[in-house]
């Protein structure tokens, strides 16, 4: 659009976003995609400059969900920040909780009993299943399959949310991990119900894949689209399934071996091309591996206490020091950097958001593609704005 | 005894039919209703929400539209992406100050009759993120809200309950008189002012035509 | 991976003018860090990324930290002459010292190829007011691009050499740096039904407190 913008940007337009009149190619069109747009990723805005339908420049604009989580973390006690970590990546609250609990446990030198470690692995893998299923649904929604894969995905998600609700009291904001273990022991029958859900998930994945994986529309829209080369991914700090789809074998469950992950046998799927189809397939294969881990963990979970007896919840203070600890969340490496000065609140509370850092190469992936592909590429990066903006 | 010099009192109008009489008529295939009832019935049972999710509550809103909770049976089948085609703005999630002008703009672009639901603690008052330099302490500071659904996040059933309350509210509206909805009143509904980005805060921090902080009188001691 | 002391020694040998120091991290996590001065920051970063024994090509996290000026009380043992003419005695003296404030950028580096880490790199500014410039490490590790913008936005650290340094989370007309410790929030707390703590102090400024009057909360119907 040429002329004064009736909806001006919050950032003053620099030379790169003003419409440019290029005499050889005609006018370039500048489109503001967002912050309210039908793609269901949240309040994210992309300033896209188009030459016809091809993307010439893309600048993401963040901050529409900046809720000053880090400042609240400095003004709240360690335990008081646990419910806020639920709201970071609001689809995967259990893994956010674990990442934060792990960071504080490392800061304070706190041990965790074995039953709690197994439970954490079970909940993290259930969260991974939930997240990847929803991602497949949202990606297909962005491709235009408006509703059906998302309906199937949410139907399965409800079964896992039932498990979370009976365990922690809340569907989404579980607030379940504590420093030194978990909040409460699973009720009677919970492990059986989890076994049933994990057992049936393979069949659901078969049904889902029969609908999607060989689907020629999906393949035509995603193969060769948004190719991410491995070295660029490493330099840009991309982590999670996106990095593995680019061919780099780096999964923190294997590399760092946190929790009791070294006891389980599972493979790490890698992509060969780094395109959107690979990112989708890596997530589907990760779901299959997660079902395997769940089966092993639910079989081997020992009895015992759920919380370390020496853990102090009230009046928790960590010794002065700092720590950076990370886990493999469903979206990538989620890390917490905490600086303690010995008081009840952390001095500095920093979240390493995988979604924000995965977006570093959004422009690189979208250049030269058509604008319809931009939505598909964004869908395959798997962002959640609660984490991007914190 | 009636006074012979007084003018005769006008005949009393026939009393409106009772519900039992209307049911009897309906059994014979005759539907007796008023224009107001019909108008409100049509409006309340086809409220189309705007596809507008801000944060975590949006996921519960999406779950409410999915197979288990199914908002479609309440008439809200289609979530419209364009504000020009939507009736209901469900503000689901934290409204930040950076996002607030866009929310008000979307509200202004929606045609009357339009309704607003503030879903979740963040939309009502800022919620758990209230102590925030970028968090708007409730969307009702800038736009008029019809219904508040508490929760963090409210369950999909809570959203459906809220939607049913909104439907009752629409059915209770009259076509004429002071209780009429905004679009039927003379003068129509004014546009809500869109705030600007200031150096430290939004300008103005709230819209005084829409919201004024309630008076609280506190005692001297803590 | 070699220890941080060995890395520091190699860095000092490679860049003789740089003041690379080891910051010991107290506490059980024992993640010590390397403090590098601003002028050698980029060169040290490239060395850490390209050195065959380290190959730290993955910058996982970059945070800004605000350290305001604080008073430190140190006890020093001083030899004081004995007024009676005897041998000098050792006297403990408490010395108050003002440690000037600074802003800090902390980088957490890992190696994907060699599977080791983290190596923590710290860069400090000279003060919090006018000398807040640090070299940008975005040309070395692309992942710092958005995180350095965030440190600029929320702390006010200016990164030289950053390809696109502007605000990322707050709007561009915003003037403050909110994550600093001395940031004062805008006063938009007019309505708070049950305040306590510092919110109560803010609420009292808005509402008249009748001395001795019973606390009554009354809401006006919304217009």
CB contact under 8 A, A348 and C65: yes
Q: Give A212-250 pLDDT, tens digit per residue.
A: 888 899 999 999 898 999 999 999 999 999 999 999 999
| Inter-chain touch A109–C108, beta carbons under 8 Å | no
Write the DSSP string, B165-199: HHHHHHHT--SSSTTS-GGGSTT-PPPPPPPEE-S
Q: What is the pLDDT of residue A263?
A: 92
Q: Residue count of chain A, please give it.
A: 390
**Interchain CB distance below 8 Å, A155 and B131:** no
Element (H, E) at C96: strand C89-99
Q: State whether residue B6 is helix, strand or coil.
A: coil
pLDDT at B166 over 70: yes
How far is Cα of residue B174 from the mean position of the Cα atoms in its chain? 15
For position A190, what pLDDT does the model report? 94
Six token digits for residue B123: 């939309």
- Identify which of A366, A323, A331, A329 has the alpha carbon closest to the alpha carbon of residue A347: A323
C117 touches chain A (CB under 8 A): no
| Lowest-confidence segment of A48-57, A304-313, B49-58, C49-58 by average pLDDT | A304-313
Instruction: Tell me if B83 is assigned to some domain.
Output: yes
Structural domain boundaries, residue A188:
69-389
Mean pLDDT of A250-262: 91
Look at C220 and B198 and tell me if their CB atoms are within 8 Å.
Answer: no
CB nearest A72 (choices: B63, B102, B129): B129
Closest-CA distance, A154 to chain B, in angstroms, reads: 7
Residue of A nearest to B136 (CA): A67
A276 at C interface, C-beta within 8 A? no
Please answer whether residues A182 and A116 qualify as being in contact, where contact means their C-beta atoms are separated by less than 8 angstroms.
Answer: yes
Q: Which residues of C touch A321 (CB under 8 A)?
A: 25-29
Q: Classify residue C98: in a domain, yes or no.
A: yes
Query: pLDDT tens digits, residue range A149-196?
Result: 889 999 999 999 999 999 999 999 999 999 989 999 999 899 999 999
The tally of domains found in chain B comes to 1
So what's the pLDDT on residue A133? 93
> Three-state secondary structure along chain A?
CCCCCCCCCCCCCCCCCCCCEECCCEECEEEEECCCCCCCCCCCEEEEEEECCEEEEEEEECCCCCCCHHHHHHHCCCHHHHHHHHCCCCCCHHHHHHHHHHHHHHHHCCCCCHHHHHHHHHHHHHHHHHHHHHHHHHHHHHHCCCCHHHHHHHHHHHHHHHHHHHHHCCCCCCCCEECCEECCCCCCCHHHHHHHHHHHHHHHHHHHHHHHCCCHHHHHHHCCCCCCCHHHHHHCCCCCHHHHHCCCCCCHHHHCCCCCHHHCCCCCCCCCCCCHHHHHHHHHHHHHHHHHHHHHHHHHCCCCCCECCCCCCCCCCCCCEEEEEEEEECCEEEEEEEEECCCCCCCEEEEECHHHHHHHHHHHHHCCCEHHHHHHHHHHHCCCHHHHHC
Long-range contacts of A188-193 (CB under 8 A, 24+ apart): A190/A163, A190/A166, A191/A298, A191/A301, A193/A162, A193/A163, A193/A166
With b meaning 16 or more CB within 10 Å and e meaning fewer, what string describes A111-129? ebbebbbbbbbbbbbbbbb
Note whether C28 contacts A108, CB cutoff 8 Å: yes
pLDDT of C223 > 70? The answer is no
Q: Give the nearest partner residue to B218 out of C169, C215, C220, using CB atoms.
A: C215
Helix segments in chain C, DSSP class H: 4-14, 41-50, 144-154, 198-206
C130 touches chain B (CB under 8 A): no
Q: What is the mean pLDDT of chain A?
A: 88
Residue range B134-147: average pLDDT?
Answer: 90
Buried b (16+ CB within 10 A) or exposed e, A10-23: bbeeeeebeebeee
Which CATH number characterizes residue A111's domain? 1.10.645.10
Out of A87-91, B51-55, B127-131, B214-218, least confident range: B214-218
How many domains, in total, are found in chain A?
1
User: Residue A155 is nearest to which of B54, B56, B67, comparing CB atoms?
Assistant: B67
The total of other beta-carbon atoms located within 10 Å of residue A342's CB is: 12
B31: region left, alpha or beta (phi > 0 left; psi from -120 to 50 alpha): beta
CATH number at residue B62: 3.40.50.12280
Longest dimension (CA), chain C: 85
Look at residue C222 in the predicted model and tell me its pLDDT. Answer: 37
Asked if B106's CB is within 8 angstroms of A42's CB, the reply is: no
Question: Strands B88-92, B115-119: parallel, antiparallel or unpaired by DSSP?
Answer: parallel
At A332-368, the pLDDT tens digits run: 999 999 999 888 999 999 999 999 999 999 988 999 8
Report the pLDDT value the prediction gives residue A13, as an integer from 0 to 100.
Answer: 41
Handedness of CA A360, A365, A368, A374 (dihedral sign): negative
Do B67 and A172 lie within an 8 Å CB cutoff?
no
**Per-residue DSSP letters for C112-168?**
TTTTEEEEEEEEE-S-SSS--EEE--TTT-TTHHHHHHHHHHHT-PEEET-TT-S-S
pLDDT in tens, A101-145: 999 999 988 889 999 999 999 999 999 999 999 999 999 988 888
**Measured distance CA(C137)–CA(C107) in Å, rounded:** 9
Query: How far, in Å, CA of A177 to CA of B33, rounded?
Result: 58
**Please, are residues C23 and C33 in contact by the beta-carbon 8 Å criterion?**
yes
DSSP annotation of B130: -
| Domain span at B165 | 39-173
Q: Is pLDDT larger for residue C5 or for residue C83?
A: C5
pLDDT of residue B6: 64
Q: Is A350 on the interface with C (CB under 8 A)?
A: yes
Percent of chain C with pLDDT over 90: 27
On the question of pLDDT at C142 being above 50, the answer is: yes
Question: Quick one: pLDDT band at residue A309, thresholds 50, 70, 90?
Answer: confident
Instruction: Determine the pLDDT at residue C190.
Output: 63
Q: Are the C-beta atoms of C32 and C120 separated by less than 8 Å?
A: yes
Gap from C67 CA to chain A (nearest CA, Å):
10
Which residue in chain A has the smallest CA separation from C27?
A321
- Which residues 95-154 in chain B show a CB within 8 A of chain A? 96, 98-99, 102, 105-106, 128-129, 131-135, 152-153
The answer to whether position B200 is within a domain reads: no
Number of Cβ within a 10 Å radius of residue A205: 21
Question: Which phi and psi angles does C150 have, rounded to 5°?
Answer: -65, -40
Q: Taking the model in full, what pTM does it have? A: 0.88
Where in the sequence is the domain holding C82, given as residue range(s)?
4-206
CB B59 within 8 A of CB A172: yes
Residue A350 φ then ψ, to 5°: -125, 135
pLDDT of residue A17: 43
**Cα distance between residue C142 and residue A380, in whole Å:** 20
Chain A closest CA to C102's CA: distance in Å? 14
* Nearest 10 degrees: Cα torsion A264, A270, A276, A277: -90
Name chain B's partners: 3 or more CB pairs within 8 A: A, C
Mean pLDDT (whole number) for C131-135: 90
Query: How many inter-chain contacts (A to C, CB under 8 Å) are there?
Result: 110
For the record, the structure tokens of A56 come out as 């010439």
More confident: B70 or B221? B70
pLDDT at res. C19: 77
Q: Check residue C210 and give its pLDDT.
A: 43
Nearest to C65 by CA among C137, C134, C165, C164: C134
If phi > 0 it is left, if psi is from -120 to 50 it is alpha, else beta; for residue B211 that is: beta
What subunits touch chain C, counting only 3 or more CB pairs under 8 A? Answer: A, B
Looking at residue C88, its pLDDT comes to 74
**Min distance B135 CA to chain A CA atoms (Å):** 6
Task: Determine, for residues C174 and B216 on separate chains, whether the beta-carbon distance falls below 8 Å.
Answer: no
Binary contact (B200, C219; C-beta < 8 A): no
Of A107, A250, A337, the CB nearest to C27: A107
CB atoms within 10 A of CB B113: 16
User: Is B61 in CB contact (< 8 Å) with chain A?
Assistant: no
Give yes or no for a contact between B156 and B165, defined as CB atoms under 8 angstroms apart: no
Strand partners, C110: C58
Give the rounded percent of residues in chain C with a pLDDT score beyond 70. Answer: 89
For the segment C110-131, what is each residue's pLDDT rounded down to a tens digit?
A: 999 888 878 999 999 988 888 8
Please list every residue in chain C whose beta carbon sits closer than 8 Å to the beta carbon of residue A106.
28-29
For residue B89, give the DSSP letter: E
In a domain, B211, yes or no: no
Q: Spell out which residues of chain C touch residue A80, defining contact as CB-CB under 8 Å.
A: none
Residue A48 lies in a domain: no
| pLDDT average, residue stretch C20-31 | 82
Q: Tokens 């009720």 — which residue?
A: A187
What integer pLDDT is reported at residue B3 of this predicted model?
A: 60
C57 interface with A at CB cutoff 8 Å: yes
The torsion of the CA quartet A274, A279, A281, A286, rounded to 10 degrees, works out to 120
Secondary structure class of B202 (helix, strand, coil): strand
Put simply, the answer to whether C26 touches A356 (Cβ < 8 Å) is no
Report d(CA B125, CA B136) in Å as an integer: 8
Over residues B128-149, mean pLDDT = 89
CA-based nearest distance B216→chain C, Å:
5
- Using an 8 Å CB-CB cutoff, list chain C residues near B212: 220, 222-223
Is B28 contained in some domain?
no
Q: Which residues of C touch B216 (CB under 8 A)?
A: 191, 193, 203, 207, 217-219
Candidate from A76-80, A196-200, A210-214, B181-185 with smallest mean pLDDT: B181-185
Does residue A328 carry a pLDDT above 50?
Answer: yes
When pLDDT is cut at 50, 70 and 90, the band that residue B219 belongs to is: low
Closest partner residue to C175 (CB to CB) among B98, B200, B220 is B200
Q: Are C42 and C139 in contact (CB under 8 A)?
A: yes
Q: Using DSSP bridges, classify how beta strands A177-178 and A181-182 pair: parallel, antiparallel or unpaired.
A: antiparallel
Cα(A363)–Cα(A374) distance, integer angstroms: 9
Query: Is residue C112 less than 8 Å (CB to CB) from chain A?
Result: yes
ipTM score of the complex?
Answer: 0.86
The DSSP call for residue C11 is H
Phi and psi dihedrals of A326, rounded to 5? Answer: -140, 155
Q: Integer distance in angstroms from the first to the last C-alpha of chain C?
A: 68
User: Which of B99, B200, B201, B222 to substitute to test the interface with C, most C CBs within 10 Å?
Assistant: B200
* Residue B49: DSSP 8-state: B
How close is the nearest chain C Cα to the Cα of A151, in Å?
A: 33
Predicted confidence at residue B204, as pLDDT, reads 84
Tell whether A75 is within 8 A of chain B (Cβ).
yes
Mutate to test the interface with C, among A108, A235, A268, A361 (most CBs of C within 10 A): A235
Subunit contact C143:A357, Cβ cutoff 8 A: yes
Q: Is the pLDDT of residue B221 over 60?
A: no
CATH number, position C191: 3.30.460.80
CA of A218 vs chain C CAs: smallest distance (Å): 30
HSE, CB side, 13 Å, CA atoms: give it for residue B217: 9
Which SS3 state, helix, strand or coil, does residue B115 take? Answer: strand
Mark yes or no for CB contact A43/B135 under 8 Å. no
Structural contact between residues C28 and A321, judged by C-beta atoms closer than 8 angstroms: yes
Average pLDDT for A286-310 = 92
Q: Are A231 and A349 in contact (CB under 8 A)?
A: no
């Amino acid at each position: 659009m040429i002329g004064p913008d009736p909806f001006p940007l919050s950032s003053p337009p620099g030379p790169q976003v003003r419409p440019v009149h290029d005499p050889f190619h005609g006018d370039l069109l500048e489109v503001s995609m967002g912050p309210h747009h039908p793609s269901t990723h949240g309040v994210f805005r992309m300033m896209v400059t188009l030459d016809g339908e091809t993307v010439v420049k893309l600048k993401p604009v963040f901050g529409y969900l900046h809720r000053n989580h880090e400042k609240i973390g400095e003004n709240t006690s360690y335990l008081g920040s646990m419910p806020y970590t639920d709201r970071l990546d609001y689809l995967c609250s259990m893994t956010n909780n674990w990442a934060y609990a792990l960071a504080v446990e490392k800061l304070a030198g706190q041990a965790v009993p074995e039953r709690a470690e197994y439970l954490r692995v079970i909940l993290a893998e259930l969260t991974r299943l939930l997240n990847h299923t929803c991602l497949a649904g949202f990606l297909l929604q962005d491709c235009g399959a408006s509703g059906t894969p998302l309906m199937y995905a949410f139907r399965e998600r409800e079964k896992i949310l039932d498990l979370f609700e009976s365990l922690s009291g809340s569907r989404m904001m579980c607030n379940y991990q504590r420093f030194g273990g978990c909040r409460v022991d699973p009720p009677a029958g919970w492990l059986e119900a989890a076994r049933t859900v994990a057992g049936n998930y393979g069949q659901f994945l078969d049904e889902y894949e029969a609908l999607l994986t060989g689907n020629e529309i999906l393949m035509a829209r995603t193969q060769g689209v948004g190719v991410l080369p491995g070295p660029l991914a490493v330099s840009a700090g991309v982590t999670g399934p996106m990095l593995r789809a680019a061919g780099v074998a780096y999964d923190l469950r294997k590399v760092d071996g946190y929790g009791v992950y070294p006891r389980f046998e599972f493979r790490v799927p890698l992509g060969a091309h780094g395109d959107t189809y690979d990112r989708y397939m890596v997530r589907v294969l990760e779901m299959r591996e997660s079902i395997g881990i769940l089966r092993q963990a639910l079989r081997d979970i020992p009895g015992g206490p759920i919380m370390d007896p020496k853990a102090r919840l009230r009046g928790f203070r960590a010794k002065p020091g700092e720590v950076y600890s990370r886990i493999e969340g469903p979206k990538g490496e989620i890390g917490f950097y905490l600086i303690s000065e010995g008081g009840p609140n952390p001095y500095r509370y920093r979240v390493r958001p995988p979604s924000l850092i995965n977006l570093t190469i959004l422009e690189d992936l979208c250049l030269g593609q058509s604008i319809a592909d931009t939505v598909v590429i964004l869908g395959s990066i798997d962002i959640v704005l609660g984490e991007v903006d914190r | 005894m009636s006074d012979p010099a007084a003018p005769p009192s006008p005949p009393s109008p026939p009393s409106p039919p009772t519900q039992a009489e209307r049911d009897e008529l309906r059994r014979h295939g005759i539907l007796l209703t008023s224009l107001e009832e019909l108008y409100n019935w049509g409006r309340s049972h086809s409220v189309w929400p705007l596809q507008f999710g801000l944060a975590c509550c949006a996921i519960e809103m999406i779950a409410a539209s999915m197979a288990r909770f199914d908002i479609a049976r309440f008439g809200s089948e289609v979530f419209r992406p364009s504000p020009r085609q939507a009736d209901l703005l469900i503000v689901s999630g934290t409204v930040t100050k950076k996002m607030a002008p866009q929310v008000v703009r979307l509200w202004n672009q929606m045609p009357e009759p339009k309704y607003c639901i503030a879903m979740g603690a963040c939309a009502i008052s800022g919620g758990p993120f209230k102590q925030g330099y970028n968090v708007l302490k409730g969307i009702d500071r800038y736009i008029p809200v019809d219904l508040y659904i508490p929760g963090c996040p409210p369950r999909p059933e809570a959203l459906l309950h809220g939607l049913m309350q909104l439907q009752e509210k629409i059915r209770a509206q009259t076509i004429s008189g002071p209780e009429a909805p905004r679009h039927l009143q003379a003068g129509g509904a004014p546009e809500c002012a869109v705030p600007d980005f200031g150096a430290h805060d939004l300008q103005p921090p709230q819209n005084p035509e829409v919201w004024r902080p309630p008076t609280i009188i506190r005692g001297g001691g803590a | 991976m070699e220890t941080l002391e060995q890395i520091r020694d190699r860095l000092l040998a490679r860049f003789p003018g740089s003041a690379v120091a080891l910051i010991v991290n107290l506490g059980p996590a024992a993640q010590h860090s390397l403090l590098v001065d601003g002028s050698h920051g980029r060169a040290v970063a490239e060395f850490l990324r390209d050195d065959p024994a380290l190959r730290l090509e993955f910058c996982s996290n970059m945070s800004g930290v605000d350290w305001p000026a604080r008073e430190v009380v140190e006890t020093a043992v001083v030899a004081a002459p004995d007024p009676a003419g005897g041998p000098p005695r050792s006297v403990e003296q408490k010395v108050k010292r003002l440690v000037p404030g600074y802003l800090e950028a902390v980088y957490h580096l890992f190696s994907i190829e060699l599977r080791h880490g983290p190596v923590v790199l710290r860069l400090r500014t000279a003060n919090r007011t006018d000398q807040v410039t640090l070299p940008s490490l975005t040309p070395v590790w692309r992942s710092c691009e958005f995180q350095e913008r965030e440190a600029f936005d929320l702390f006010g650290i200016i990164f030289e050499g950053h390809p696109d340094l502007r605000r990322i989370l707050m709007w561009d007309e915003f003037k403050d740096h909110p994550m600093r410790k001395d940031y004062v929030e805008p006063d938009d707390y007019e309505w708070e039904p049950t305040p306590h703590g510092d919110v109560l102090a803010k609420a009292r400024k808005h509402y008249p407190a009748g001395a001795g009057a019973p606390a009554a909360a009354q809401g006006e119907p919304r217009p």
